[in-house]
Amino acid sequence: MNTKWVLKIFLLVFVAIGAATSCTNPTNEETEETQDSSANTETESNVLKTTYKVPSPVELYEFMRQSEVAFNGQVLNTPSNQSKYNTSVKKAINLGVFASDLAYCTMYEKVQEGISYFKATKLIADEMGLAEGFDEIITKRVEQNENNTDSLYEISADAYWKACNYLEAEGKTDVLAFVLAGAWVESVYIAIGSVNKFSQENEVVIRIAEQHFALENLIDYLRKNAKKNDDIKKLISGLESIYASYEKLYDNDEETIITKEQFEEVTIKISKLRNEFIN
């Protein structure tokens, strides 16, 4: 799997664990060729206006895969749930949720599952008027590369960047805020679901604890757009509750990154907000 390509351009799961990168797509000079049968379609060098740093599950999923953490499809949102999201807020949030699920599946080379999540993502994107990223050309590329994991990464990255750029260009950063929040919450929920037994030495537990840095950046971005949408203010409140739990980690001694009680508290709050997102 060409993981270098993934980590370079796959915003579809928005920025890294513990040290989020800005919402800016790297140039083509840093990318490598893939075996996409639609080779004549070049990845655009898209640069978003957003300068805020926002969180992404990509490196978290990469870390989990390299650490041989088992894939757990049971924690993902069900693709068929797409049809029940009938408000603009629900659509935007679950566009992020499904994008995160898609990245998780393709990172673990679950091709058929990944295609199901791509379709769910596309359906929501269509309903949101984001045909710029999920048009028939993109769909045809997916069909032609169903067995090529690297190409599915590239195609999904192309689709997401076009949709993301459209939201930026149209001044719909409030919508983008919901997408980012949905992706972040889903990634942490998936990571928590991979922890079978708590241990302070568990590297995934440590990565989950480090999410408070990414969460702080996400809340800052949402606050920037809070004046546009009362629903964002409600979302900020939910995320701030989670951040309050993360702040308790600062009271730990130097040997303790997160206690079992703190981990359970974060788990409860993440699960509660995630359930609100998908139901």
- For the chain, the domains span 57-67+85-278
User: Other CB atoms closer than 10 Å to residue 100's CB: what's the count?
Assistant: 32
Q: Which pLDDT value is given to residue 230?
A: 86
In the chain, which residues have pLDDT < 70?
1-57, 131-164
Closest CA to 218 of 276, 260, 256, 270: 270
- Report how far apart, in Å, the C-alpha atoms of 256 and of each of 19, 212, 248, 250, 261 are: 20, 15, 12, 10, 12
pTM of the model: 0.79
Q: Which pLDDT value is given to residue 152?
A: 65
Q: Which pLDDT value is given to residue 148?
A: 62
Phi, psi of 53 (to 5 degrees): -90, 125
Distance CA 212, CA 243 (A): 7
